[in-house]
Structures are given as C-alpha cells and as structure tokens.
A and B are shown apart, each in its own frame.
Chain A
Amino acid sequence: MREVIIVDFNLGNLHSVKKACEVCNIKAKISSQRGDIEKAEALILPGVGAFGEAMSNLSKLNLIDSIKGFVDSGRPLFGICIGLQLLFSESSEFGLTKGLDLISGKVEKISFENQEIYKNFRIPFIGWNKVEFKNKSTLLDHVESGNYFYFVHSYYARLEISSDLLASSMYGDLQVTAAIERNNIFATQFHPEKSGNSGLQIYHNWKNKYNLN
C-alpha cells in the first residue's frame, strides 16, 4: 500500500501532524528511513527548531538526496514551519547554512524596518495571524483570505521568484511568507494542524489535489 510519510528528523513533535492526517483520512506513517521516503506516495516535512540542526539531522540520516530525488520524481511534498524554510537555498541562522535548495530564496531572522514602533513585538512570534492570499490554488479552497493561522517562528523565508508565493501575512511592518507553492511543492510557515478548522481544511485540500491514499 502506498503511504504518506511524515519525515522524522528528530526535531519537534510530529504527533499533532499525524493526528491531523488521521482526521482528514490521510494514511500517514512517521519514519526516518530512506526506503520509506523513496517509495512514499507523498511526503510531509514538518518540524520546529533550528535550521542548522535540521539540515545536519537530515544529513546524518542520509535523507537529503532522498528528499531531493523524491521532489524530482514529481510526487507531492508538504513542508510545515521549519519544513518550509529547509526548502530554500540558504539560511542566515547561526552563520550561513545551505538548505535543500528546491525553492530560490533565503531564510532570515525576523526584523522590523521601524524598530522603535515594533519593539514590543516578540521574537519568536508565537500566535495567530491573518493570512492573505497572493495567488490562486485549490490548496486554499474553502479557506478565505484573511483567515487566521497559528505561527511559531523567529525566522522567515524571502522568495526570489514571486510566483512561488501563495499567501503572506504581516508581522509588524514585515511581510512574512506564509505559504508557497511551486509545482509539486507546497509549504506553510504556519502550523495547519494547530489552526483549527481552517488548518484542517488545508490538509483536506492537499489530499484532494493529489488524490492521496
């Protein structure tokens, strides 16, 4: 049987992602095995934490080439939070770390143009924010532009190719990449599994778009 694999690279809590899959009738298994990833029907790349550690864990588990090969094969990948950031070319977290380089752009620390006005805005940002759609996709079906989603992050991704941007949100005066889509790659900076019904709808949409399971 073909399965959706939730990639476990020892960062963060994957149980809530698995639970969201269950309620959306997506058969998913948590795994860090190359073999599982290579023959997966679709991949979810979740996680919270630091970019550098995430890349080094993926490298230790020998998963970097598997994930890149998987994406090249045209099968769907869904990145969440640090899983969105890892898709980018590089991150400035603790010096410069190279990412999976599947999406052109850079991951940078949240900072404000007008620091005086936004000095009481915390980093990390933990909380709900409005997400505005910037492009059309069936992945946003039955969700409205301006709906709220739950974020936890200190870094954000800056895209090079604006057509990759699906949705964004404003934190202070900073426009944050909230969701991206490029061919078979979809990723959100927010946690759809922690964003109530709007978030679960995103899982449903992903399942429907790719006829999963």
Chain B
Amino acid sequence: MTSILAKKPLRIIPRLDIKGPNLVKGIHLEGLRVLGQPHDFAKYYYENGADELFFQDVVASLYGRNSMSEIIQKTANEIFIPLTVGGGIRNIEDITKVLRCGADKVALNTAAMGNKDFVRQASEKFGSSTIVVAIEIVQETDGRYLAYTDNGREYTGVDAVEWSEEVVELGAGELVITSVDREGTGGGPDLSLLEKIAERVGVPVIAHGGVGKIDHVTDLFDKTQVDACAIASMLHYNLIHKNKVQRSLSCNEGNVEFLKKNIGFKNIDLIEINEIKSELEKHNFFVRN
C-alpha cells in the first residue's frame, strides 16, 4: 500500500527543437538534422499520451530572432495539454507575446543568466508556475558541472548546481536540466548531475539529454528524484521510421540529407510514449496511461 502511494506522479514530455519552420534534432545541441513539420509531431504526441509539450527555438538566442509565434499558435489551437516554449525570450514583453500565442509556460536561460532580476520580475508578474528555467550543463574535465547559455555554446563559468538553487530562490517554478554532453547521443542521462540538482531544489525537475533506451527512463526515475523526462530522439525517429508524419520539407533551414537518405538510427530505441509509460507502470511508477 505504502509503496504504491509513495510513488509520485511522473511526466513524459516530448521535446521539440525548432529551427525556422522545421523540427530539428542535433547531437550535443549541434549538427541539426531536419525531421519535419513541428505541428505534425506535436499533434501526434498530444493524441498519444504526451503529458506536456516542450518547444525550444534552438537558434533564437543566437541570431536574435523569434520565429516561433506561428508554430505555437497553430499548435495551441489544437492541443489541450500544457505547452512550454523556450528560446530567445529576453524580456517581459517577449513572455507576454509567447503566452498570447497560446503557450502556458516559458523557459528562460540566456536572458536569466544575463539578468537575474529578470527571473524575479517574470515570476512575480506571471506567477512562478509559468516560469521555467532551462539550464544547459557541460561537465568540465575536473568534474565540475557548469551552466552554459545560447543553446550550450557560451561558457559562463557558473556552477550549475548553485545556479539551480539560485533561480529557484528567484522564483522559478520548474527546472529543465539539459546535459549537453549527453544530449542527442542516446548514451543515457547523467544521473549523478540530475540527482545533485533534484535533491537540492524543492520545485519539479525535468531531466533532458541522453535518453536513448527505454531502460534509461526507468533507471532515471529509479535512481534520481526528478519529476519528468523530456524525450526527443526516441519519439521523433520512431514517427519518421513508421512514416507517421509527412516528409514535406522546407529546405531553406538545416540539413535535410538525413531524411532524404533515410539513414539509420544509431543507439536509439524507436518507441511510442504509451510504450514507455507501460514499462514505467511495470516498474511500479505512477504515470498517466
């Protein structure tokens, strides 16, 4: 009895990286492949068990543009689960705009690092539960975990665990912890990093980066106290492999060779959300299924 009750509700969150009009996927947040139209993937995930969706505009903070509005609007009109949007959000006006397009939460990273007061102002104005802070983390050769910005490109020298605690103090309602070292590799999440952060903060922690096998997900929830797992490769490649999404492409953004050649998927289990959840239930975890 106790053991079942003691399992907290967990979430599976498809993560959609967006470049221009396309859904893309990279490795270590670099080398982006075009996978298709974000809306097709989002709708499929909504209809097939996603607990939330996470959209990240992967170049917005680099080029200073914000091209997500159209994609968010189109998605929000048909999708009635929480939608978090990150990438290129610099000020209160940007947050207002993104929420008006239909997002429920925004994820801040670069702008939060540049101006800590932004996190405080944003959570005061929109409520903590609307403000997610995304932290992109690289492990240094001496073992330290440091926070990076601009989609894992810019060194800050800031200790990632301390930064996690600080942004929660400033009002962040949730954290997305990305291991840049693991992201896109399918080699498994960085459990020691995730547990370090999950045990230090009181707010929900979303793990991102490295999940490539179903065992990685059960392991993640077994060995850390994180509350949710953001998944990209396993879910996206599964849909492409099963031809569940159109391969209509806008070729002006990113590398489409992958889709044209139908290259294989190294190290990645191809899987549906409800298959992941069934496996979690077998391990006595509490998920919506």
Q: Which of B9, B81, B173 contacts A194 (CB 8 A)?
A: B81
Check B129 against A48 for contact (C-beta < 8 Å).
yes
Chain B stretch 34-89: residues in CB contact (< 8 A) with chain A? 46, 51, 76-77, 80-82
Check B130 against A48 for contact (C-beta < 8 Å).
yes
Query: Which residues of the other chain, B, contact A111 by a CB distance below 8 angstroms?
Result: none
- Which of under 10, 10 to 19, 20 to 34, or 35 or more describes the interface residues of B? 20 to 34
Check A122 against B204 for contact (C-beta < 8 Å).
yes
- Distance (whole angstroms) from the CB of A134 to the closest CB of chain B: 19
Query: Which residues of the other chain, B, contact A117 by a CB distance below 8 angstroms?
Result: 2, 5-6
A64 at the interface (CB under 8 A from B): no
Q: Which of B6, B51, B127, B227 contacts A48 (CB 8 A)?
A: B127
Count A/B pairs, Cβ under 8 Å. 91
Query: Which residues of the other chain, A, contact B204 by a CB distance below 8 angstroms?
Result: 122, 124, 126-127
Q: Which of A15, A170, A195 contacts B99 (CB 8 A)?
A: A15
Complex Cα distance, B130 from A197, in Å, reads 22
Per-residue CB contact flags for chain A residues 115-131 toward chain B (1 = under 8 Å, else 0) read 00110111111111100
Among residues of B, the one whose C-beta sits closest to the C-beta of A173 is B5
Check A122 against B99 for contact (C-beta < 8 Å).
no
Once A20-B80, A196-B81 are accepted as A-B contacts, the answer to whether A124 and B100 lie under 8 Å apart by CB is no
Chain A stretch 2-33: residues in CB contact (< 8 A) with chain B? 11-13, 15-16, 19-20, 23
Query: Which residues of the other chain, A, contact B173 by a CB distance below 8 angstroms?
Result: 124, 126
Query: Which residues of the other chain, A, contact B202 by a CB distance below 8 angstroms?
Result: 122-123
- Distance (whole angstroms) from the CB of A35 to the closest CB of chain B: 25
Among residues of B, the one whose C-beta sits closest to the C-beta of A82 is B127
Check B130 against A150 for contact (C-beta < 8 Å).
no
Complex Cα distance, B102 from A20, in Å, reads 11
A193 at the interface (CB under 8 A from B): yes
Among residues of A, the one whose C-beta sits closest to the C-beta of B51 is A128
Query: Which residues of the other chain, B, contact A125 by a CB distance below 8 angstroms?
Result: 9
* Secondary structure type dominating chain A contacts: mixed
Chain A stretch 79-103: residues in CB contact (< 8 A) with chain B? none
A148 at the interface (CB under 8 A from B): yes
Query: Which residues of the other chain, B, contact A193 by a CB distance below 8 angstroms?
Result: 80
B128 at the interface (CB under 8 A from A): yes
B17 at the interface (CB under 8 A from A): no
Complex Cα distance, B130 from A93, in Å, reads 19
Per-residue CB contact flags for chain A residues 23-65 toward chain B (1 = under 8 Å, else 0) read 1000000000000000000000000111000000000000000
Chain B stretch 1-48: residues in CB contact (< 8 A) with chain A? 2, 5-6, 8-11, 46
Query: Which residues of the other chain, A, contact B77 by a CB distance below 8 angstroms?
Result: 19
B144 at the interface (CB under 8 A from A): no
Once A193-B80, A194-B81 are accepted as A-B contacts, the answer to whether A19 and B11 lie under 8 Å apart by CB is no
Complex Cα distance, B77 from A48, in Å, reads 21
Complex Cα distance, B128 from A48, in Å, reads 9
B126 at the interface (CB under 8 A from A): yes
Query: Which residues of the other chain, A, contact B9 by a CB distance below 8 angstroms?
Result: 125, 127-129
Query: Which residues of the other chain, A, contact B128 by a CB distance below 8 angstroms?
Result: 124
- Distance (whole angstroms) from the CB of B231 to the closest CB of chain A: 16
Per-residue CB contact flags for chain A residues 186-202 toward chain B (1 = under 8 Å, else 0) read 00000001111101100
Complex Cα distance, B123 from A49, in Å, reads 9
A159 at the interface (CB under 8 A from B): no
A172 at the interface (CB under 8 A from B): yes
Query: Which residues of the other chain, B, contact A71 by a CB distance below 8 angstroms?
Result: none
Among residues of A, the one whose C-beta sits closest to the C-beta of B102 is A15
Chain A interfacial positions (CB closer than 8 Å to B): 11-13, 15-16, 19-20, 23, 48-50, 117-118, 120-129, 148, 150, 152, 170, 172-173, 193-197, 199-200
Lowest 8 A-B CB distances belong to which pairs? A49-B127, A128-B288, A148-B288, A127-B9, A120-B225, A152-B129, A122-B204, A48-B127
Given A50-B127, A117-B6, A126-B11, 20 additional A-B pairs, CB 8 A: A12-B126, A12-B130, A13-B103, A13-B130, A19-B77, A20-B80, A23-B80, A48-B129, A48-B130, A122-B8, A122-B202, A122-B204, A124-B128, A126-B173, A127-B204, A128-B9, A128-B288, A129-B9, A172-B8, A197-B80
A-B contact pairs, 15 of them (CB 8 A): A13-B104, A19-B80, A23-B80, A48-B127, A122-B203, A127-B8, A127-B11, A127-B204, A127-B227, A128-B9, A128-B51, A150-B51, A170-B5, A172-B8, A194-B80
Chain B interfacial positions (CB closer than 8 Å to A): 2, 5-6, 8-11, 46, 51, 76-77, 80-82, 99-100, 102-104, 126-130, 173-174, 202-204, 225, 227-228, 288
